[in-house]
């Protein structure tokens, strides 16, 4: 247990760091840079706070540091779990199945909320068309990640699975290759005012909801990363592993209760 | 409008007067019987619905004349056959309205609190319109027009009837409106008569006329009637019947809160929004064939239902009446209901003390008791012989009697007995728009705004006297572009612990200063302005980014938000401004504020074409292809 240690040193020594933005619902009203603003000052506030670092819980079981400033978690004040819909969008930088499990369990453990109702998987842009908002993927490439998610679903941690930015062939490939089919495909409405016809048709035929998002291709550009957690020395830099955005909405009243992010980064040595 | 079931004969005012105390007393008993049960009510989901009023128009293309067809009642009877035969869950539901050229339609089943429902609103409205269209005669059209421009002009109805104020045995004693123009439902005839009889004279509505270059100055009309000549003000358009007000069409939206507390909160938060939406939806610049200097129906109804006697209006010393009453029974709300806004109740109101103490003794909170006691200051205006003695435990007729004859910008509605309907707030200021697209846009906009208010704990409340000022401003000619409205600047209640933070909810002992609210244009309030106000559109977009919305719904909502945004910025005209523009650029217009039969004919032909999408009016809106 480290107490009164220089928290900055803790971060500098850590192999990985998971930062929780806290409930940003009220914080982000006046800004357009949501992700950036959500983490604004989070690390600074944590290092400035002289209280003890709580013992590492399961979320960072590989020895990472959990940076969080929220004192109490607002979840489920006299509310039934069934009255709330928790949607989590998982942004990955690599197709890493282990990371997926950690990302999912972090949210559930933090809020003690049993499960995620809808998990949307967002893969990094494919190298062949990085600027295209639609991803063109083959199921084979994402198989491990998808199976991991299906296992988590089978274990009761996720109710429904969805994907993001899939074009029609990719969506078709997943649906035909996996027993568990995505229930939703979340696409970017800014770039395309109307979804491509083949995608709409396929989604409609297979009862896949087309949802919308406004996230850019590069959801965590370099300068945002530096802003959130600057590298402490020249030989190390932080690389993102995953970013989850969660949103808890009261069903049938459509009132948002919570919104926030978890960002996990690994330290890499520059050679 | 109001409860339409009745039994027996309708009483005239002198008879109703004798039962006034009885009705009011039993109304409170009925409310309290209900209230105790309601406190334990479980949490409700969001349910909401719109009410659209329609008028039936008849074109005489050969003579270039347009009239109001008085078949609204008859058409409504046919449309109600399905409901009356006991079929449930119909897609639409129909009600009679005050004037016989009107009818009102609502969705058959309320919309539920699921984002996907927003994409069905417009198609339900379109379906309702089609239902009416199937029952029209040749040359008849159905229109969602707020005010018929030639209402009260010579030969404005079909069939044609003569208005004759001299016939004292008639219910409607107007110079302009024939008796037959009032709906056949006894409640409406009763209202027309009681308002006049209680007041002791005809209502007098005076709306400022728009002074154009050739308008006589002063503008004075001479009538064959001493009462009218006395009551008509120079430079005003004079009208003398409740029918001028209630013969208008509007759009109302009713929203269910999850419990009483949340409903009170929504009621309070929507109050400052009322003048904004009124200005945005303005659609009534022409009255009795003249261009007016107001753009909305509000002042016409306000003056048209004014049942206050001369004594109550302060024109004569109090002899037969208890007190002077500052305002008519139609208008803006006069007090906030939620304890958090109590400090902003700065409008003096008259109340029925006995009612207030009865409610307080029964455990009703101070603000709600005050609110009801203020409504209870008014006398009942309708009563039927077999509806006097009722079972106070089973029905709330007497409560609804007084409740529904107070017509305010918002109505706070307790759950009715014998149903699973919860607490609701009714949003009543919106003028009806020409097309279903626009009406759906306003409906969805208001409902989304309530979700945004609840999600972000927004606080729009300012002293109610300023809301009243805003309501007056919102009525003016081109208020949407010319007026500035008092609006709260710091609407986000902050969760930070910094005591210097400006975002904190103002505490009880702090007074609201100019730091907390300022004058803003409609454009700023809706579209935002850097460092001044975020804007409703931005807040709604932020909210939508946090809920799961399917694409079709999102595209539809985006269309609606774009429409509202463009109205607010002045890129699109309000219907009122567009109608003015149409009239003043008409070749037959003589710059004298007169909207003749033939100008009105051309105007309504165009309105009809716009509504049917036969003509694209880009001044009003563009829709996605």
DSSP states along chain A: ---SS-HHHHHHH-SEEEEE----TTGGGG-S-HHHHHTTTHHHHHHH--SPPPPP-GGGTTT-EEE---SS--TTSS--GGGEEEEEEEEESS--HHHHHHHHHHHHHHHT-S-EEEEEEEPPPPTTSTT-SSB---HHHHHHHHHHHHHHHHTTSEEEEEEESB-HHHHHHHHHH-SSPPSEEEEETTT-SS--HHHHHHHHHTT-EEEEE---SSSS-HHHHHHHS--SSTTEEEEEEEEEEEEEEETTTTEEEEEEEEEEEEEEE--
Of the residues A22, A29, A35, the best mutation for testing chain B's interface (the one with the most B CB atoms within 10 Å of its CB) is A29
Residue A159 CB: number of other CB atoms within 10 A?
15
Chain B nearest C-alpha distance from A170 (Å): 19
- In chain A, the residue whose alpha carbon lies closest to the alpha carbon of B530 is A30
- In chain A, the residue whose alpha carbon lies closest to the alpha carbon of B535 is A30
Residues in A closer than 8 angstroms to B550, CB to CB, are 209-212
Of the residues B44, B269, B448, B548, the best mutation for testing chain A's interface (the one with the most A CB atoms within 10 Å of its CB) is B548
Closest CB to B456 among A25, A34, A252? A25
pLDDT at B502 exceeding the cut of 80: no
User: Which stretches of chain B sit within 8 Å of chain A by CB?
Assistant: 45-46, 112-115, 258, 451, 454-457, 492-495, 534, 539, 542-543, 545-552, 554-555, 558, 624
What secondary structure letter does DSSP report for B123?
H
Number of CB pairs, chain A paired with chain B, less than 8 A apart? 77
Closest to B143 (Cα-Cα) out of B61, B72, B50, B242: B72
Residue A138 φ/ψ region, left for φ over 0, alpha for ψ in the -120 to 50 degree band, beta for the rest: beta
8 A C-beta contact, residue A130 and residue A98: no
pLDDT at B309 exceeding the cut of 90: yes
Closest CB to A254 among B539, B547, B554? B547
Q: What is the mean pLDDT of residues B256-280?
A: 97
Predicted pLDDT of residue A56: 45
User: Where do we find the tokens 């897609």?
Assistant: B91
d(CA A129, CA A262): 27
Residues in A closer than 8 angstroms to B454, CB to CB, are 253, 255
Predicted pLDDT of residue A3: 45
Write out pLDDT tens, residues B71-121: 999 999 999 999 999 898 899 999 999 999 999 999 999 999 999 999 999
Q: pLDDT-based confidence at A232, cuts 50/70/90?
A: low
Interface contact B455-A255, CB threshold 8 A: yes
Chain B nearest C-alpha distance from A66 (Å): 22
Predicted pLDDT of residue B523: 98
Interface contact B551-A195, CB threshold 8 A: yes
Q: pLDDT-based confidence at B513, cuts 50/70/90?
A: low
Please report, in angstroms and rounded to a whole number, the separation of the first and last CA atoms in chain B. 37
For B268, the enclosing helix (H) or strand (E) is helix B260-270
d(CA B220, CA B45): 55
| Contacts with B330 (C-beta within 8 Å, 6 or more apart), sequence order | B245, B301, B302, B304, B305, B306, B407, B408
pLDDT at A14 exceeding the cut of 90: no
Residues in B closer than 8 angstroms to A249, CB to CB, are 546-548
| Contacts with A114 (C-beta within 8 Å, 6 or more apart), sequence order | A81, A108, A156
Predicted pLDDT of residue B622: 67
For B146, the enclosing helix (H) or strand (E) is none
Closest CB to A26 among B46, B494, B543? B494
User: Where do we find the tokens 């774009």?
Assistant: B562
pLDDT at B4 exceeding the cut of 80: no
Interface contact B455-A30, CB threshold 8 A: no
Q: Which residues pair with residue A17 across a beta bridge? A: A65, A265
d(CA B216, CA B213): 9
Mean pLDDT over all residues of chain B?
A: 92
8 A C-beta contact, residue B8 and residue B387: yes
Residues in A closer than 8 angstroms to B494, CB to CB, are 26
Interface contact B45-A252, CB threshold 8 A: yes
Residues in A closer than 8 angstroms to B118, CB to CB, are none
pLDDT at A4 exceeding the cut of 80: no
In degrees rounded to 5, what are phi and psi of residue B220? -135, 130
pLDDT at B447 exceeding the cut of 50: yes
Structure tokens at B449: 């705004």
Does A195 touch chain B if contact means CB atoms closer than 8 Å? Answer: yes
Closest CB to A252 among B112, B534, B543? B112
d(CA B492, CA B469): 23
8 A C-beta contact, residue B1 and residue B53: no
pLDDT at B122 exceeding the cut of 60: yes
Residue A205 CB: number of other CB atoms within 10 A?
8
Write out pLDDT tens, residues B376-428: 999 999 999 988 998 998 889 999 999 999 999 999 999 988 888 999 999 99
Closest CB to B451 among A29, A210, A254? A254
Write out pLDDT tens, residues B475-494: 999 999 999 999 998 888 65
Chain B nearest C-alpha distance from A255 (Å): 5
Of the residues B269, B535, B542, B561, the best mutation for testing chain A's interface (the one with the most A CB atoms within 10 Å of its CB) is B542
Q: pLDDT-based confidence at A112, cuts 50/70/90?
A: confident
Interface contact B549-A187, CB threshold 8 A: no
Percent of chain B with pLDDT over 70: 94
Chain A nearest C-alpha distance from B47 (Å): 8
pLDDT at B624 exceeding the cut of 60: no
Of the residues B545, B557, B561, the best mutation for testing chain A's interface (the one with the most A CB atoms within 10 Å of its CB) is B545
Percent of chain B with pLDDT over 90: 83
Interface contact B549-A254, CB threshold 8 A: no
Does A101 touch chain B if contact means CB atoms closer than 8 Å? Answer: no
Is the previous residue joined to B218 through a cis bond, with omega within 30 degrees of 0?
Answer: yes
Interface contact B545-A214, CB threshold 8 A: yes
DSSP states along B346-373: -S-----HHHHHHHHHTT--HHHHHHHH
Q: pLDDT-based confidence at A22, cuts 50/70/90?
A: confident
d(CA B322, CA A168): 75
Of the candidate ranges A137-146, A160-169, A256-265, B157-166, the one whose mean pLDDT is the lowest: B157-166
Closest to B331 (Cα-Cα) out of B472, B182, B517, B188: B472
Does A219 touch chain B if contact means CB atoms closer than 8 Å? Answer: no
Interface contact B550-A209, CB threshold 8 A: yes
Residue B235 CB: number of other CB atoms within 10 A?
15
pLDDT at B496 exceeding the cut of 70: no
- In chain A, the residue whose alpha carbon lies closest to the alpha carbon of B112 is A252
| Contacts with A112 (C-beta within 8 Å, 6 or more apart), sequence order | A73, A75
8 A C-beta contact, residue B340 and residue B417: no
Q: Bigger pLDDT: B58 or A40?
A: B58
Predicted pLDDT of residue B318: 95
- In chain B, the residue whose alpha carbon lies closest to the alpha carbon of A245 is B546
Does A143 touch chain B if contact means CB atoms closer than 8 Å? Answer: no
Mean pLDDT over all residues of chain A?
A: 83
- In chain B, the residue whose alpha carbon lies closest to the alpha carbon of A247 is B546
């Amino acid at each position: 247990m480290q107490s009164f240690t220089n928290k900055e040193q803790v971060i500098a020594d850590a192999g990985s760091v998971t930062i929780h933005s806290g409930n940003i619902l009220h914080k982000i009203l006046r800004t357009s840079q949501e992700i950036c603003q959500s983490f604004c000052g989070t690390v600074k506030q944590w290092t400035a706070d002289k209280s003890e670092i709580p013992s590492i819980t399961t979320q960072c079981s590989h020895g990472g540091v959990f940076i969080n400033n929220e004192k109490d978690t607002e979840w489920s004040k006299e509310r039934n779990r069934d009255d709330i819909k928790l949607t989590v969008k998982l942004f990955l930088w690599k197709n890493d199945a282990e990371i997926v499990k950690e990302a999912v369990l972090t949210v559930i453990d933090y809020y003690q909320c049993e499960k995620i109702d809808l998990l949307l998987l967002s893969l990094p842009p494919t190298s062949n068309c990085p600027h295209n908002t639609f991803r063109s993927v083959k199921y084979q490439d994402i198989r491990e990640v998808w199976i991991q998610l299906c296992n988590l679903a089978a274990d009761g941690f996720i109710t429904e699975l969805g994907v993001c930015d899939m074009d029609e062939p990719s969506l078709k490939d997943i649906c035909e290759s996996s027993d568990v089919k995505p229930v939703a495909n979340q696409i970017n409405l800014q770039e395309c005012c109307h979804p491509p016809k083949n995608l709409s048709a396929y989604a409609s035929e297979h009862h896949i909801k087309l949802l919308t998002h406004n996230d850019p291709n590069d959801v965590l550009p370099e300068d945002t990363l530096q802003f959130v957690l600057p590298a402490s020395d020249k030989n190390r830099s932080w690389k993102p592993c995953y970013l989850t955005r969660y949103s808890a909405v009261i069903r049938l009243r459509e009132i948002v209760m919570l919104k926030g992010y978890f960002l996990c980064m690994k330290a890499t040595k520059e050679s | 409008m109001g409860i339409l079931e009745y039994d027996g004969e309708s009483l005239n005012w002198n008879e109703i007067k004798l039962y006034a105390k009885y009705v009011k007393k039993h109304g409170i008993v009925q409310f309290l019987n209900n209230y105790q049960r309601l406190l334990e009510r479980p949490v409700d989901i969001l349910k909401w619905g719109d009410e659209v009023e329609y008028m039936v128009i008849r074109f005489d293309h050969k003579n270039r004349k347009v009239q109001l067809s008085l078949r609204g009642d008859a058409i409504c009877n046919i449309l109600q056959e399905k409901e009356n035969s006991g079929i449930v869950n119909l897609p639409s539901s129909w009600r009679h309205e005050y004037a016989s050229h009107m009818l009102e339609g609502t969705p058959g089943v309320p919309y539920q609190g699921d984002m996907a429902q927003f994409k069905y609103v417009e198609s339900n409205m379109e379906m309702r319109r089609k239902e009416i269209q199937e029952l029209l005669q040749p040359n008849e059209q159905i229109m969602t027009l707020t005010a018929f421009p030639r209402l009260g002009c010579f030969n404005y109805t079909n069939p044609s009837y003569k208005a004759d104020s001299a016939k004292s045995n008639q219910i409607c004693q107007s110079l302009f409106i024939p008796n037959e123009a009032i709906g056949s439902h006894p409640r409406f005839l009763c209202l027309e008569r009681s308002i006049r009889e209680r007041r002791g004279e005809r209502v007098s509505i005076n709306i400022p006329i728009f002074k154009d270059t050739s308008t006589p100055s002063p503008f004075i009309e001479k009538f064959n009637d001493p009462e009218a000549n006395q009551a008509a003000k120079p430079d005003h358009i004079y009208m003398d019947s409740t029918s001028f007000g209630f013969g208008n069409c509007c759009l109302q939206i009713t929203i269910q809160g999850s419990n009483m507390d949340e409903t009170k909160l929504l009621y309070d938060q929507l109050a400052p929004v009322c003048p904004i939406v009124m200005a945005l939806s303005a659609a009534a610049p022409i009255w009795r064939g003249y261009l007016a200097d107001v753009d909305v129906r509000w002042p016409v109804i306000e003056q048209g239902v004014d049942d206050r006697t001369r004594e109550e209006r302060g024109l004569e010393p109090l002899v037969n009446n208890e007190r002077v009453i500052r305002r008519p029974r139609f208008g803006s709300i006069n007090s906030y209901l939620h304890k958090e806004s109590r400090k902003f109740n700065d409008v003096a109101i008259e109340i029925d003390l006995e009612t207030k103490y009865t409610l307080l003794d029964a455990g009703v909170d101070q603000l709600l008791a005050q609110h009801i006691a203020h409504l209870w200051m008014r006398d009942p205006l309708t009563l039927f012989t077999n509806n006097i003695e009722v079972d106070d435990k089973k029905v709330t007729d007497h409560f609804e009697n007084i409740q529904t004859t107070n017509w305010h910008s918002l109505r706070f509605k307790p759950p009715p007995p014998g149903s699973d309907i919860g607490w609701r707030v009714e949003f009543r200021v919106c003028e009806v728009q020409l097309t279903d697209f626009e009406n759906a846009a306003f409906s969805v906009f208001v409902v989304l705004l309530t979700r945004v208010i609840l999600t972000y704990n927004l606080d729009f409340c300012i002293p109610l006297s300023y809301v009243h000022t805003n309501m007056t401003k919102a009525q003016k000619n081109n208020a949407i572009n010319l007026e500035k409205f008092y609006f709260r600047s710091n609407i986000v209640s902050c969760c930070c612990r910094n005591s210097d933070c400006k975002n904190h909810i103002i505490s009880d002992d702090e007074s609201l200063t100019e730091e907390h609210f300022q004058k803003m244009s409609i454009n700023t309030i809706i579209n935002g302005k850097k460092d001044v106000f975020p804007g409703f559109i931005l807040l709604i977009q932020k909210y939508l980014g946090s809920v799961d919305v399917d694409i079709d719904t999102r595209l539809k909502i985006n269309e609606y938000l774009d429409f509202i945004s463009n109205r607010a910025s002045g890129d699109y005209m309000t219907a009122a401004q567009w109608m003015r523009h149409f009239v003043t650029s008409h070749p037959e217009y003589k710059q004298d504020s007169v909207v003749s039969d033939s100008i009105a004919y051309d105007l309504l032909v165009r309105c009809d074409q716009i509504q049917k999408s036969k003509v694209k009016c880009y001044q009003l809106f563009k829709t996605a292809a």
